[in-house]
Amino acid sequence: IGIADCEITGDWQDALSRADTALYVSKKMGRNKTTVYDSGMEKIDHN
């Protein structure tokens, strides 16, 4: 599961993109993981 805070910009599309990035981090870490978005994740490759 990827989690992102909407209050950073107030834009739901940006929040969705950040949550998606956090999701990819969770997937790379294995099963049954929850990851909260951090600004250091911006350079994560989604492939």
| Predicted local confidence at residue 39, as pLDDT | 84
Residue 34 has pLDDT above 80, yes or no: yes
Tell me, what's the pLDDT at 36? Answer: 92
- 10 versus 26: the higher-pLDDT residue is 26
Per-residue confidence (pLDDT) for residue 9, from 0 to 100: 59
Question: Please, which residues have CB within 8 angstroms of residue 36's CB and are 6 or more apart in sequence?
Answer: 3, 4, 22
What is the model's pTM? 0.74
| Each residue's pLDDT tens digit, 9-25 | 578 888 888 899 999 99
